[in-house]
Chains A and B, each alone.
Chain A
């Protein structure tokens, strides 16, 4: 659970996106695209889920990318290479179904870009034609552009402020791309509102769409039911039944509401903590 490497990937106006490589040979060996881990920074920490972005089976390490947003990710961002995490468990959740779908669009927003990278890489290797649409608030917060360029046939970028690529949202580009051509699959990961918009865009074109949900989790092993989501009217747990679901079946409003359960507490602890 030792942090081998740490790198700041992007930084702008109070936002920081950090990459760490953590020693964990058994997890590295077993991980497939789409899976995640749960970690604790200290014995007093929360159990926090993060997608496994990459693995190095020779070194026995996994790569995690996170935005320093809440108290726990800020604490994690304060750790240095050589430090050890208190707890790390995985790989959790089902892996992405990797096969040759034909033409695939992957949409990544913000730190969600990190989550589409392993899937894009595997889908490309499986023979798919890959279009990647990336979105960030501003140019300086765009991550993994080159890495994704290397595994895609097309790569399009949107920024909220127009500082790079198109001014606007990833979903604007998605709509245009789908208007022009037929696609077989859309895979979208980012902020919940972005995934919700992706779902409504692709519904128009009747394209199968997968999202990876970041519901609030506690143990992340199927025990607590905290991360329950309504999928096609059924209650499922994002940790053990997901994290990927059919975007057109997700009860988005419920997910948005449930993601705000601890908003007050989060503000409180961030204010009290030194960070």
Chain B
């Protein structure tokens, strides 16, 4: 008999919205056992197919029911090196949980009855962390003579690094910023992914022998060609989609109109919420408007709200979206969390023009009301602005969170690397190989904006192709000998 899902403990909205501490507290052992017991251990578990890296979900949940938490941890680590991260930031309701047998077919995201797979993954991941469980190198180590360079230490780069390192391959990860983690660090706020969790999971790579070189830009300090001639046997590009896009409306370059990347980077990476102890500033308005409907918009709004409260401001933070809540691509839980914390929502609103004061700081935003039209290529109903429906709202700070494009620093410096019209790197879908031999790519630089686990999925595919290629080299070398 199926019981109700075990609700996860969360810090109270009024307490959590004045700090950057983690909101979701995770399952206790008792809760995890109760939730795991709801799993009916389907004969054909569709959840595994719903996971971009195909974790054996059925098995690890069963292991939890048997109190074999160590076993559960290692089952996940067979496919995913970062269970504590993915257990927190995976949009599970669109992936594994969406395919759970308890979800009605055809729904666009998981029903509330689905097994809370991500929370069980988080439980197992955190258990592994607390008990210093370590996945060792694979036996044999036949590939230990090979070196692979990875460009970018975001989700794709680190996932690829982990897979290769466990084969005994010497892996060097080059990161442009001063710390590793990519979007996990600069994009996702600590209230969703605490820094000690992130640090711990990235440190587990170092234990596998991975070297991470920060402050290093491939394409600038060193060319891709140089990496190959200097003895790297293969290269993986996990460059990410790091370039913000703008609305293209009047007044968008007024002061205090931020891209989500800038606003979140100032807070998450540079700790601007601890200014002046940390030296990077960020401005906060009384009337903050965040434009967009994805997870980044939720993160930016919740971060802005926290900053307002920390600074003792009485103000409001509003998310403006051109469609309705149903079409919002953000995780349902993040939308709920934002609402609970006091973020306001303005649906069916299209931003038209920012206006500023005499010092060019933004003051107002003029919008048009929208209605929904026919579905577009994304399958979602298209917003249509209604002429003459103009209205104006107060806005002394805005965050634009409408999407990102490929980072082109490396691709511009490497003309031989084939890119498409979006400047994304073109790959062979089977091997993730690029137009340059021995160079592979994955993550957002290939697929445009996706989720953390999707990027990891591509990286794993690439790592398998790299491993296969290196084994082939080994055979060729042996024959030569």
Contacts and interface: CB of A to CB of B under 8 A. Distances in A.
Interface of A: 1, 26-27, 30, 40, 44-47, 71-72, 75, 86-92, 218-219, 221-226, 228, 230, 235, 237, 240, 254, 257-258, 260-262, 265-266, 268-269, 272-273
Interface stretch (B7-15, B48-56, B116-124, B256-264): B256-264
Contacts of B359: 257, 260
A88 B278 CA distance: 18
Main secondary structure of the interface of B (DSSP, over half): loop
Interface of B: 176-178, 186, 214-217, 220-222, 242-244, 246, 252-256, 258-259, 261-262, 265-266, 269-271, 275-281, 283, 359-360, 407-409
Contact of A218 (B176, B214, B266, B408): B266
Nearest to A70: B279
A40 B279 CA distance: 10
Contacts of B266: 218
A91 B223 CA distance: 12
Contacts, number: 122
Contacts of B258: 226
Contact of B408 (A1, A222, A230): A222
Contact of B214 (A87, A91, A92, A260): A87
Contacts of A72: 279
B415 to A, nearest CB: 15
Contact of A92 (B177, B220, B222, B276): B220
Contacts of B270: 46-47, 218
13 contacts: A89-B178, A89-B215, A219-B176, A221-B217, A223-B242, A223-B243, A225-B246, A225-B262, A257-B255, A261-B256, A265-B275, A265-B283, A266-B281
Given A44-B271, A257-B360, A261-B283, A87 B262 contact: no
A86, A218, A223, A261 interface centre (most CB from chain B within 10 Å): A223
Which 8 A-B residue pairings sit nearest by Cβ, starting from the closest?
A257-B360, A265-B281, A87-B178, A224-B262, A225-B259, A225-B244, A223-B242, A269-B276
Contacts of B407: 221-223
A46 B258 CA distance: 18
B222 A30 contact: yes
Nearest to A271: B276
B411 to A, nearest CB: 11
A47 B276 CA distance: 14
B220 A90 contact: yes
B38 to A, nearest CB: 42
Contacts of A27: 221
Given A71-B279, A219-B176, A224-B259, 6 more contacts: A46-B280, A91-B220, A92-B217, A218-B270, A221-B407, A261-B255
Nearest to B253: A254
B220 A30 contact: yes
A87 B221 CA distance: 14
A265 B270 CA distance: 15
A45 B279 contact: yes
Contact of A222 (B243, B246, B255): B243
A44 B177 CA distance: 14
A252 B293 CA distance: 33
B253 A235 contact: yes
Nearest to B254: A257
Nearest to B280: A46
A260 B258 CA distance: 14
A184 to B, nearest CB: 27
Nearest to B265: A224
A269 B281 contact: yes
Nearest to A85: B215
Contacts of B256: 261
A251 B251 CA distance: 13
Nearest to A230: B253
A223 B186 CA distance: 10
Nearest to A237: B243
Contacts of A254: 253, 360
Contacts of B217: 89-90, 92, 221
A97 to B, nearest CB: 15
A27 B256 CA distance: 34
